[in-house]
């Protein structure tokens, strides 16, 4: 066995109570880290899942129409903003092909989208018509996972609507309903399926039909009003959107820009959690350092005799650093287990009416690994001062003053 | 004639910067191989300072310190540490055993001080050293559970296990009752005769000093020649 390890372990074993106390201190710190991180990550993942469950990561639309003042002698006091109409993206097929080829993009879905009315009997609802290619749309928003009734198909004048709209209009799978564009053009559609995407707005207003049917109804023959994208790294969406904006000159909006407030809230939450964790680590480090400083003082006579016997200063430093590191590793193992148990218990204890966890948690290997690394590094750093103090002890006076 | 195990030539030791206090005034002394020497003198005579210099735990202000044929006064801390491990054994008044280790592990530390790993051979030699001081059956005992005399015998085993050419003993019997003191002194004397290891024993006890080969008396930082 390595002499340094042997002595470090023996000293820790000899001072059982001190060792237990500082290991418990580290474990408490790691428990807080694991618990807070799992909760924060869970909350973040859950919120993002809910947000991105009904939203494309990036939406490409035609550039806005803008009125321009006449040039010349005329003095223009006010330029009136132009009302936006449903327009197609020029050369969308070529754009679609180039987006399909991008490695960062997971799915691309062209869509003809516009507000229309849904009619059934005396009921009329203002809805958002989305003409889609089902396989492509399901790649962007996982519709197949959200089907409540019927099938995920819009073929042969089929329509898929949300459960909210179905309830408002009193329709079920197999019923027929009329969709009427703002210019009065209308068509009858068969209800093929009902979805519940977990978002009331989408459940109440989305009406999904085939791209061709939507193009006909909206008088957008051969065109699409938007292209929706799902990317591999959702947090890289804004950077990609900026690149596409520069490349195409189109209006490109990422989910991050569309949900800026949510992102700010999540970042603030993560920052608060980080601050709490930093202070916890600091407290743990001070705890380890103070206990080891006391240990060095208590053992100065023994350190003196080890130095007199020919043990180098470097070895004495290593022995005390190892003690800090070992306490860090032990505390992180214990704390990881406790933190995970606490998080799981908390998640099971705090549930909604259906029994589902109100605060979801995420426990992954990276969290445990990072906690272990932080705790071990804290142990080593905290032991640095006592270790140096031990190594600097003058053996003659350490032995004499015992 | 072989090199002496210890030689001091004109060693001066001063402390302080603004106000310099000279504690040792040009010490010259030799300890030959196999000698058993007593270092005596009243409190404040410079015995501890001299022992620290001889034990390579401190540097002289001037003069030369030779240990086992090697001049040491200009060596750096690392070289002194290596030389201590190789050439010197220590026995202290308060034994200074490490409480976290068993008796045999304490002895092993003298062998492992400058080695990276503990080996079975180290344990075997340490158990043998404990057997030589009559404590083979207490090898795995917590040293805090041993009597004062037994603890000092473990310290002797630790000092002797590497068979260094010189053992420095600082009041080795000062904390023991008469019987234990006699046992410990006899043990050191026996090792000196059987192994040829030289001993320098600091003592206040004139009876101990009288039983040594030679006495070096230190008064006010100067060596007073004594009859052997």
Query: Can you give the residue ranges of every domain in chain B?
Result: 6-224
Tens place of pLDDT per residue across chain B (228 aa): 567 899 999 999 999 888 889 999 999 999 999 999 999 998 888 988 999 999 998 899 999 999 998 999 889 989 999 999 999 999 887 767 898 999 999 999 999 999 999 999 999 999 999 999 999 999 999 999 999 889 989 999 999 999 999 999 988 888 788 888 888 899 999 999 999 999 999 988 888 888 899 999 999 999 986 554
- Give B142's contacts (C-beta < 8 A, 6+ positions apart): B99, B102, B103
pLDDT digits (tens, 9 = 90+) for A186-221: 999 999 999 998 888 899 999 999 999 999 999 888
| Structural domain count, chain A | 2
- Give A23's contacts (C-beta < 8 A, 6+ positions apart): A327, A330, A331, A334
Asked if the C-beta of A2 comes within 8 angstroms of chain B's C-beta atoms, the answer is yes
DSSP H helices in chain B? 47-54, 77-87, 103-112, 120-132, 148-160, 178-195, 206-210
Q: What is the DSSP letter of B225?
A: P
Residue of B nearest to A4 (CA): B116
Q: Domain spanning B6-224 has what CATH number?
A: 3.40.50.300
Residue A402 is predicted with a pLDDT of 47
DSSP H helices in A151-248? 163-169, 200-205, 211-217, 237-248
If contacts are CB pairs under 8 Å, which of residues 373-402 in chain A contact chain B? Answer: 394-396, 399-400, 402
Q: Do A247 and A276 reside in the same domain of the chain?
A: no
How many angstroms separate the CA atoms of A385 and A381, rounded? 8
Sign of CA dihedral A239, A240, A243, A244: negative
Residue of B nearest to A399 (CA): B96
- Backbone phi, then psi, for A226, in 5-degree steps? -160, 160
Q: Is residue A14 part of a domain?
A: yes
Identify which of B85, B94, B100 has the shortest CB distance to residue A309: B85
Q: Do A320 and A380 reside in the same domain of the chain?
A: yes
Short-list A137, A142, A138, CA closest to A199: A142
Residue A75 is predicted with a pLDDT of 64
Q: What pTM was computed for the model? A: 0.73
How many angstroms separate the CA atoms of B57 and A311, rounded? 12
Q: Is residue A66 part of a domain?
A: no
* Residues on B contacting A at a C-beta cutoff of 8 Å: 48, 52, 55, 57-58, 77-78, 81-86, 90, 92, 94, 96, 98-101, 105, 109-110, 112-118, 158
- Please indicate whether, in this complex, the C-beta atoms of A310 and B81 are within 8 angstroms of each other: yes
Q: Do A246 and A288 reside in the same domain of the chain?
A: no
- The domain boundary residue, chosen from A258, A282, A309: A258
**How many helices, marked H, and strands, marked E, lie in chain A?**
14, 10
Residue A77 is predicted with a pLDDT of 65
> H/E element holding A388?
helix A365-392
Under 8 Å between Cβ of A61 and A226: yes
Residue A37 is predicted with a pLDDT of 86
Short-list A207, A21, A13, CA closest to A113: A207
Report the DSSP pairing between strands A206-210 and A158-162: antiparallel
Neighbours of A355 (CB within 10 A): 7
Under 8 Å between Cβ of A116 and A179: yes
Under 8 Å between Cβ of B180 and B147: yes
Quick check: helix, strand or coil at residue A241? helix
Quick check: helix, strand or coil at residue A193? strand
Q: Is residue A293 part of a domain?
A: yes
Q: Do A295 and A184 reside in the same domain of the chain?
A: no
Query: Rounded to the nearest 10 degrees, how much is the dihedral formed by the CA atoms of A295, A297, A302, A306?
Result: 100
CA of B84: how far to CAs of A366, B73, B161, B177, in Å? 48, 13, 14, 30
Q: Do A143 and A45 reside in the same domain of the chain?
A: no
Q: Do A254 and A353 reside in the same domain of the chain?
A: no
The answer to ipTM > 0.90 is: no
Which residues in chain A are closer than 8 Å to B57, comparing Cβ atoms?
Answer: 308, 394-396
Q: Do A386 and A361 reside in the same domain of the chain?
A: yes
Q: Is residue A120 part of a domain?
A: yes
Can you give the residue range of the structural domain that contains A133?
A: 92-258
- Please indicate whether, in this complex, the C-beta atoms of B114 and A14 are within 8 angstroms of each other: no
Residue of A nearest to B80 (CA): A310
Q: Do A276 and A231 reside in the same domain of the chain?
A: no
DSSP H helices in A259-299? 260-298
How many angstroms separate the CA atoms of A50 and B147, rounded? 73
- Please indicate whether, in this complex, the C-beta atoms of B117 and A10 are within 8 angstroms of each other: no
Residue B18 is predicted with a pLDDT of 85
Q: Is residue A109 part of a domain?
A: yes
Report the DSSP pairing between strands B62-67 and B6-15: antiparallel
Which residues in chain A are closer than 8 Å to B96, comparing Cβ atoms?
Answer: 301-302, 304-305, 399, 402
Q: Is residue A106 part of a domain?
A: yes
Q: How many residues does chain A have?
A: 402
Under 8 Å between Cβ of A339 and A30: yes
Q: Do A249 and A270 reside in the same domain of the chain?
A: no
Closest-CA distance of chain B to residue A389, Å: 16
Q: Do A136 and A199 reside in the same domain of the chain?
A: yes
Q: Do A283 and A156 reside in the same domain of the chain?
A: no
If contacts are CB pairs under 8 Å, which of residues 63-82 in chain A contact chain B? Answer: none
User: Cα–Cα–Cα angle for A304, A310, A314, nearest 5°?
Assistant: 80
- Please indicate whether, in this complex, the C-beta atoms of A310 and B48 are within 8 angstroms of each other: no
Q: Is residue A323 part of a domain?
A: yes
Q: Do A316 and A297 reside in the same domain of the chain?
A: yes
How many angstroms separate the CA atoms of B159 and B108, rounded? 10
b/e per residue A262-272 (b: at least 16 CB within 10 A): ebeebeeeeee
Tens place of pLDDT per residue across chain A (402 aa): 799 999 999 999 998 998 999 899 889 988 988 898 888 888 888 888 777 778 899 999 998 766 666 666 666 666 666 665 678 898 899 999 999 999 999 999 999 999 999 999 888 999 999 999 999 999 999 899 899 999 999 989 999 999 999 999 999 999 999 999 988 889 999 999 999 988 888 999 999 999 999 999 998 888 999 999 999 988 899 999 999 999 998 999 999 898 888 888 888 888 888 888 888 888 888 888 888 888 888 888 888 889 988 899 999 999 999 998 999 899 999 999 999 999 999 888 887 777 777 777 888 888 888 888 888 888 888 888 889 988 888 887 777 654
């Amino acid at each position: 066995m390595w002499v340094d390890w042997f002595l470090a372990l023996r000293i820790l074993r000899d001072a059982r109570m001190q060792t237990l106390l500082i290991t418990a201190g580290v474990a408490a710190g790691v428990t807080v880290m694991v618990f807070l991180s799992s909760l924060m990550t869970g909350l973040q993942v859950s919120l993002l899942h809910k947000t991105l469950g009904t939203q494309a990561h990036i939406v490409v639309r035609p550039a806005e129409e803008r009125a321009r003042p006449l040039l010349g002698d005329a003095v223009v006091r006010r330029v009136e903003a132009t009302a936006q109409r449903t327009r197609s993206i020029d050369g969308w097929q070529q754009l679609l092909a180039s987006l399909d080829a991008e490695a960062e993009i997971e799915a691309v879905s062209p869509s003809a989208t516009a507000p229309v009315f849904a009619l059934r009997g005396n009921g009329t609802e203002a809805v958002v018509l989305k003409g889609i290619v089902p396989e492509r749309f399901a790649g962007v928003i996982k519709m197949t996972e959200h089907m409540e009734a019927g099938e995920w198909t819009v073929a042969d004048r089929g329509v898929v609507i949300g459960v909210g709209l179905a309830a408002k209009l009193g329709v079920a799978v197999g019923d027929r309903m009329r969709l009427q564009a703002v210019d009065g053009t209308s068509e009858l559609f068969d209800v093929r399926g009902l979805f519940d995407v977990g978002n009331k707005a989408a459940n109440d207003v989305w009406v999904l039909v085939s791209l061709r049917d939507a193009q006909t109804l909206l008088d957008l023959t051969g065109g699409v009003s938007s292209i929706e994208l799902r990317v591999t790294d959702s947090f890289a969406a804004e950077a990609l959107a900026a690149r596409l904006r520069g490349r195409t000159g189109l209006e490109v909006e990422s989910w991050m820009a569309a949900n800026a407030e949510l992102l700010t809230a999540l970042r603030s939450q993560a920052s608060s959690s980080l601050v709490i964790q930093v202070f916890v680590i600091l407290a743990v480090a001070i705890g380890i350092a103070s206990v080891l400083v006391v240990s060095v003082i208590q053992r100065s006579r023994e350190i003196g005799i080890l130095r007199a016997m020919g043990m180098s200063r470097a070895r004495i430093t290593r022995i005390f650093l190892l003690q800090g590191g070992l306490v860090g590793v032990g505390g992180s193992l214990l704390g990881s287990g406790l933190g995970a148990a606490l998080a799981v218990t908390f998640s099971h204890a705090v549930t909604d009416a259906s029994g589902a966890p109100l605060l979801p948690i995420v426990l992954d290997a990276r969290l445990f690994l990072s906690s272990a690394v932080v705790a071990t590094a804290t142990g080593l750093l905290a032991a640095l001062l006592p270790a140096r103090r031990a190594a600097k002890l003058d053996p003659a006076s350490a032995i004499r003053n015992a | 004639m072989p090199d002496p195990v210890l030689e001091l030539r004109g060693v001066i030791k001063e402390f302080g910067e603004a106000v310099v206090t000279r504690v040792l005034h040009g010490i010259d002394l030799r300890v030959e191989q196999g000698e058993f020497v007593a270092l005596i003198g009243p409190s404040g005579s410079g015995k501890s300072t001299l022992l620290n210099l001889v034990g390579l735990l401190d540097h002289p202000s001037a003069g030369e310190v030779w240990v086992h044929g090697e001049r040491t006064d200009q060596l750096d801390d690392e070289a002194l540490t290596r030389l201590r491990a190789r050439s010197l054994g220590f026995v202290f008044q308060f034994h200074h055993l490490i409480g976290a280790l068993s008796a045999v592990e304490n002895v092993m530390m003298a062998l492992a001080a400058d080695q990276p790993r503990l080996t079975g051979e180290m344990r075997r030699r340490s158990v043998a050293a404990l057997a030589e001081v009559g404590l083979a059956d207490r090898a795995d005992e917590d040293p805090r559970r041993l009597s004062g005399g037994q603890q000092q015998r473990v310290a002797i085993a630790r000092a002797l296990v590497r068979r260094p050419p010189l053992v420095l003993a600082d009041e080795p019997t000062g904390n023991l009752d008469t019987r234990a003191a006699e046992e410990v002194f006899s043990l050191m004397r026996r090792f000196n005769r059987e192994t040829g290891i030289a001993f320098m024993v600091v003592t206040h006890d004139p009876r101990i000093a009288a039983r040594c080969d030679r006495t070096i008396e230190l008064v006010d930082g100067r060596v007073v020649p004594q009859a052997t």
